[in-house]
């Protein structure tokens, strides 16, 4: 369902305020003021700021997935798709955090709530990974004995790199770590 203009302004205001101040320090009044609507208008769209936050996260996740799918589709081989998936995932994550200037304090507070709202994103990302691995196995590029298990293990490795970066600071050279993961995975799965 397409959001109307008021709803869009509310979502944009909420996204900016949550990123800057976190969930606890952002009030519905703050969001309404920034969106240029009354507090009652916000409540006519959302039951509270937790629902509003979950909606913001889902919108960001949908945009993120759309960009990820597009990048993967443009790659030709399964190896290229895998490299593109991993590098695009980390690049887009970094861009979202930078674009919205999410403070470390807000990140610590928002992370658990965001993780709950991102269940569908995780499932969809794992599905994309599984499809890439299956394609690579079918065309003889990759050797994958258990596609579901390898997909789950790769996704766990992605999260293991992502979580400390998100919570401990962006000086952890995420792109270098992502490239190391890509190399590890491709060397381990390449046909001998």
Average pLDDT over residues 52-76: 88
Per-residue tokens: 34: 């920034």
Task: Please report where in the chains the tokens 């240029």 appear, as a residue.
Answer: 36
> What is the predicted pLDDT for the residue at 31?
96
Task: Please report where in the chains the tokens 């993967």 appear, as a residue.
Answer: 72
Question: Residue 1: pLDDT above 50?
Answer: no
- CA geometry: angle at 181 spanning 180 and 187, to 5°? 90
Average pLDDT over residues 8-18: 92
CB 118 within 8 A of CB 53: no
- E strands, 122-178, are none
The model's pTM: 0.74
Question: Residue 112: pLDDT above 80?
Answer: no
**Residues sharing a CB contact under 8 Å with residue 181, sequence separation 6 or more, in sequence order:** 86, 157, 158, 161
Domains of the chain: residue spans and CATH: 58-189 (1.10.357.10)
pLDDT bucket at 21, cuts 50 / 70 / 90:
confident
Question: Residue 59: pLDDT above 60?
Answer: yes
Q: Is 191 helix (H, G, I), strand (E, B) or coil?
A: coil
Most confident residue range from 16-25, 37-46, 141-150: 37-46
Longest dimension (CA), the chain: 64
What confidence tens digit (pLDDT) does each residue in 119-178 have?
788 889 999 999 999 999 999 988 888 999 989 988 888 888 776 666 665 554 666 777
């Amino acid at each position: 369902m397409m959001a109307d203009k008021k709803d869009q302004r509310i979502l944009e205001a909420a996204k900016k305020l949550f990123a800057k101040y976190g969930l606890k320090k952002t009030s519905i009044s703050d969001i309404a003021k920034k969106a240029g609507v009354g507090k009652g208008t916000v409540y006519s769209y959302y039951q509270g700021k937790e629902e509003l936050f979950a909606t913001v996260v889902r919108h960001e996740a949908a945009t993120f997935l759309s960009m990820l799918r597009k990048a993967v589709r443009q790659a030709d081989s399964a190896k290229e798709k895998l490299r593109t998936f991993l590098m695009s995932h980390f690049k887009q994550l970094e861009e979202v955090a930078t674009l919205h200037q999410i403070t470390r304090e807000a990140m610590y507070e928002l992370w658990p709530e965001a993780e709950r709202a991102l269940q569908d994103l995780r499932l969809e990302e794992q599905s994309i990974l599984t499809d890439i691995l299956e394609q690579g196995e079918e065309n003889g590029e990759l050797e994958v004995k258990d596609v579901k298990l390898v997909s789950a293990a790769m996704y766990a490795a992605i999260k293991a790199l992502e979580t400390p970066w998100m919570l401990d600071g962006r000086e952890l050279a995420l792109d270098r770590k992502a490239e190391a993961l890509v190399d590890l995975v491709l060397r381990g799965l390449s046909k001998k």
